[in-house]
Amino acid sequence: MILYSVKDGQYYNIDGFKQDLSDMTEKGFAPKVYVNITNRCTCACTFCLRNTKEMNEHNNLWIEKEPEAEEIIAEFEKYDWSGLEEIVFCGFGEPSMRIDTVLEVAKYLKKKHPQVPTRMNTNGSGNRYQGRDITKELKGLIDTISISLNASDKKKYYEVTKSRYGEEAYDDMLEFAVKCQEYVPNVVLSVVDCIGEEEIAACRKVCEERGLKLRVRQFES
Ligand code: SF4
């Protein structure tokens, strides 16, 4: 599925909702739509839901073919999504590996309903993967960028993410986050709550030293 919504850790194709999506909240869903853009990733996190989540009809985000921007836009065109609280580029992979497609779709979203906020969830490897500074391209198109911090130092980071770029990926990710602050209104780094108080405090310090916000989120197994 290309566009989906989430409830209780399960993923639902939005084709199960009314055309105006008015029944999302009635059915207990947050009024948010997620865009599943790729299954590829520059990391191979030990906790990645792609490996750990049991698959059934409501949580299978594997896609056989990555959707082109036109296909994603055609999906949005089927609905009146003017009342959504957020549209999120996410899925079972790293969206910045397809940043050109993300931005083409975001451009359409901002033109059609500029009041609907956009977010990209990322591991922060976009600049390294694309070989250019993509942060300035996010300006006016992405309102929130949520970056997985995962750990308080590069060694621990590599142990959990197994990034293809090795331990250097940690500094790349932090540099990416700092650069994003120039172009994206809301930049948030995140860790999961199961890493322990001490490690959370160390992560908070990493963020504070760089003027970045930290969000501690619930671990989803
Ligand atoms: S960065 Fe995200 S998608 Fe990539 S391996 Fe880690 S958890 Fe999975």
The HSE-up count of residue 146 (CA atoms within 13 Å, CB side) is 14
Residue to mutate, 34, 38, 39, 45, ligand 1, most ligand atoms under 8 Å from C-beta: 45
Is ligand 1 within 6 A of the CB of residue 126? no
What domains does the chain contain, in order, with CATH numbers? 3-217 (3.20.20.70)
CA of 39 to the centre of ligand 1 (A): 9
41 CB under 6 A from ligand 1? yes
pTM of the model: 0.95
Q: How far apart are CA 81 and CA 109, in angstroms?
A: 10
Q: What is the pLDDT of residues 31-87, one digit of tens each?
A: 999 999 999 999 999 988 777 666 665 567 888 899 999 999 999 999 999 999 999
**How much distance in Å is there from the Cα of 96 to the middle of ligand 1?**
12
Is 24 close to ligand 1, i.e. is its CB under 6 Å away? no
131-163 per-position pLDDT tens digit: 999 999 999 999 999 999 999 999 999 999 999
Q: Is the CB of 94 under 6 A from ligand 1?
A: yes
**What gap in Å lies between CA 143 and CA 51, rounded to an integer?**
29
Task: Please state the φ and ψ torsions of residue 198, each to the nearest 5 degrees.
Answer: -65, -45
